[in-house]
Amino acid sequence: MSDQVKIKRALISVSDKTGVVEFAQALADQGVEIISTGGTSRALADAGVKVIGIEAVTGFPEMMDGRVKTLHPKIHGGLLALRDKDTHVQAMQKNDITAIDLVCVNLYPFEQTIAKPNCSLADAIENIDIGGPSMVRSAAKNNKFVAIVTSPDQYDAVLDEMKKTGGSTSQALRSELARKAFALTAAYDSAISAYLAAQAGDTFPEKVTLSLKRGEELRYGENPHQKAAFYRLAKPTDEPCVAYAKQLEGGKQISFNNLMDTNAAFELVKEFDDPAVVVVKHMNPCGTAIDTDIVEAYRKAYSSDPTSAFGGIIAINRPVTEELADAICECYQHWGKDLGAAGFFAEVIIAPSFNPKAVEIIRTRKRWGREDVRLLETGEITKDKIDRNEFDVRCIVGGALLQQRDLVGWEPDQINSVTKRPPTDQELTDLQVAWTIVKHVKSNTIVLVKDRAVVGVGAGQMNRVDSGMLAIRQAGELAQGSAMASDAFFPFPDNVTQAAKAGIAAIVQPGGSKQDQLSIDECDKNNIAMVFTGKRHFKH
């Protein structure tokens, strides 16, 4: 038999009424009989669309405040019946059940309801849809005969195909709609499960479903031979983040690696209240600086390591002005090394906003301007919008690891000065900056900061001594008087000895080693101030 199914009867019941009147009228114009419920029925009737009320089909009134209306054999029999199976056809005839060929349903706005600041548990429960998902699943299961429409953005595709086929839908379209329908109900149930687990204080429930919605397919993954796509959490977040940043026109498509690096940069720059700039390359900050002036913060961050910064990511926690755009486009000399006319190139610049003139400068400035640089706007950064319930998810083959996000920062009341010489106010400021940065660098990690700017980074080494050596070598003379941060404790005093030789003035580390006293003694021997935080910041 042909896979075409003539649409003779449709059931429409929607919470989101965007475009539903026009959709229903277009169906009616093609001779489709419309069944509808509650508010949808009234909206269609008021617009002049001929509608059959659900109670006329079931023989029962809507009841219990609308909780019971579509849960009836005359509805689900009309959806689930196999029209090519004699026993099903006979059952329909015996019980006066008429086939339903199209269902248009979208669900109660559960996620929008729980997103409201004063949402009560009772409000949330009342917005759990029962009849809607039941109809969606029945229609989707029987997509051989029934088309299931779950979103206004599907209306045109259905109507276009019906116009081309004289009022029918194809199996290809019905199958596509069914796949989307089951994805919808899965995401819906996931949101309800997550909400109820949170209400019960169950941080890690027995079963977790991560609901993601595809944003766009990417050119490739980490490497050209790997296919990739970008998915966002189905539940939107108010937290300023890369996932929901707006890419301004003109830049080329953002890549897998760009997204990873940009997220690393932006999550670090969000840590600072004062004007700050972060430059990231390969997931690690090669430059970070804080200043009262955002332009000066940029110059200091860039100067931390201009070689690594080339082709990196710039994250800024203030709007990008014309003056800042000029600074980004300047050609610099650093430590006697002339970068030449090519200047500096960034893959992505992410900030709360961009002045239109600043965009023009970045796109067109002679010798630097690039049309393909991606400019991402996030909106104002506010820490009160940080989503503390979102999981940090790491995938392994065959499974996943879930943990809470590492949102621990500098905790003044937890800082313990353990050496004879306490840090000066300036050293304490630099220690705070270094400790904030070290959280965002791959372990093992050593970070050196001077005057609130990174001067050296040692990242991802198999031992902490090598990480320290790399950071000190990068800093050169700037290591003198700098502050050092380590993401984990020193099991031996070797890092302190190395720091003393470089002239490092102060150290922050978690503490907790059985041999902490050896490191403390080495600091005292070399007049280095050291503080313990009591927390570590491994980042694998």
Q: Where are the domains of the chain?
A: 5-199, 238-383, 412-532
* Superfamily of chain region 5-199: Methylglyoxal synthase-like domain (3.40.50.1380)
Yes or no: say if 471 and 494 are a contact pair by the CB < 8 Å rule: no
Position 84, amino acid: D
Give the Cα separation of 259 and 218 in Å (integer). Answer: 10
Q: Which two tokens stand for residue 399?
A: 């499974």
User: Number of C-alpha atoms within 13 angstroms, CB side, residue 61?
Assistant: 3
* Plot region of 247 (φ>0 → left; ψ -120 to 50 → alpha; else → beta): beta
Give the Cα separation of 128 and 305 in Å (integer). Answer: 53
* Superfamily of chain region 412-532: AICAR transformylase, duplication domain (3.40.140.20)
Helices 131-141, 171-199: inter-axial angle, 10-degree rounding: 150
- What's the confidence (pLDDT) of residue 333? 39
Comparing 238-383 with 412-532, is the CATH topology the same? yes
- Please give the distance of CA 232 from its chain centroid, rounded to a whole number: 5
Give bridge partners of residue 103 from the DSSP assignment: 11, 148
How many other β-carbons are positioned within 10 Å of the β-carbon of residue 75?
24
Three-state DSSP class for 287? strand
Q: Which two tokens stand for residue 525?
A: 């021997």
Three-state DSSP class for 309? helix
Give bridge partners of residue 416 from the DSSP assignment: 532
Omega cis (within 30) before 106: no
Task: Identify which of 66, 95, 97 has the alpha carbon closest to the alpha carbon of residue 80.
Answer: 97
- What's the confidence (pLDDT) of residue 497? 98
Give the Cα separation of 112 and 127 in Å (integer). Answer: 10
Yes or no: say if 103 and 148 are a contact pair by the CB < 8 Å rule: yes
Confidence (pTM): 0.86
Give the Cα separation of 155 and 437 in Å (integer). Answer: 49
pLDDT tens for the 540 residues of the chain, in order? 478 989 999 999 999 999 999 999 999 999 999 999 888 999 999 999 999 988 888 777 777 776 777 778 888 888 989 988 899 989 989 998 888 999 999 988 888 888 888 999 999 998 888 888 999 999 999 999 999 999 999 999 999 999 999 999 999 999 999 999 999 999 999 889 988 888 988 888 888 888 888 899 999 999 999 999 999 987 778 899 999 999 998 778 899 999 999 999 999 999 999 999 999 999 999 999 999 999 999 999 999 898 898 889 999 999 999 999 999 888 543 433 444 444 567 899 999 999 999 999 998 877 665 678 999 999 999 988 898 888 899 999 999 999 999 999 999 999 999 999 999 999 999 999 999 999 999 999 999 999 999 999 999 999 999 999 999 999 999 999 999 999 999 999 999 999 999 999 999 999 999 999 999 999 999 999 999 999 999 999
Task: Identify which of 184, 164, 235 has the alpha carbon closest to the alpha carbon of residue 389.
Answer: 235
Give the residue numbers annotated as catalytic, written as ranges. Answer: 141, 282
143-198 confidence digits (pLDDT tens):
999 999 999 999 999 999 999 999 999 999 999 999 999 999 999 998 899 888 88
Question: Quick one: DSSP state of residue 88?
Answer: H
What are the phi and psi torsion angles at 402 (to 5°)? -115, 135
Give the Cα separation of 485 and 492 in Å (integer). Answer: 15
Q: Which two tokens stand for residue 101?
A: 């060929």
User: Number of C-alpha atoms within 13 angstroms, CB side, residue 256?
Assistant: 13
Yes or no: say if 168 and 162 are a contact pair by the CB < 8 Å rule: yes
Task: Identify which of 241, 243, 233, 303 has the alpha carbon closest to the alpha carbon of residue 450.
Answer: 303
286-342 confidence digits (pLDDT tens):
999 999 999 999 999 999 898 898 889 999 999 999 999 999 888 543 433 444 444
Give the Cα separation of 540 and 537 in Å (integer). Answer: 10
Give bridge partners of residue 149 from the DSSP assignment: 104
Q: Which CATH number fits domain 238-383: 3.40.140.20, 1.10.600.10, 3.30.460.80, 3.30.930.10?
A: 3.40.140.20
